[in-house]
Amino acid sequence: MHTKVIDMIFGLKAGCSAHEENIREKFNLSPAEFRGLVALAPKVIMSCNTLAKKMGLSVSRGSRVVEKMMKNGYLKEVKIDGDRRVVNITLTTKGIKIRDNIDGMLEDCESRILRKISKKEIETLDNILGRITDTLLDNK
User: Could you read off the pLDDT of 53-86 as tens digits, one per residue?
Assistant: 999 899 899 999 999 999 999 999 998 777 677 7
Report all structural domains of the chain as residue ranges with CATH numbers, in order of start: 5-137 (1.10.10.10)
Sheet containing 75-78: which strands, arranged edge to edge?
46-47, 88-91, 75-78
pTM summary value: 0.82
Q: Average model confidence (pLDDT) for the chain?
A: 91
User: Could you read off the pLDDT of 80-104 as tens digits, one per residue?
Assistant: 777 677 789 999 999 999 999 999 9
Report the candidate in 103, 100, 40 with the shortest Cα–Cα distance to residue 70.
40
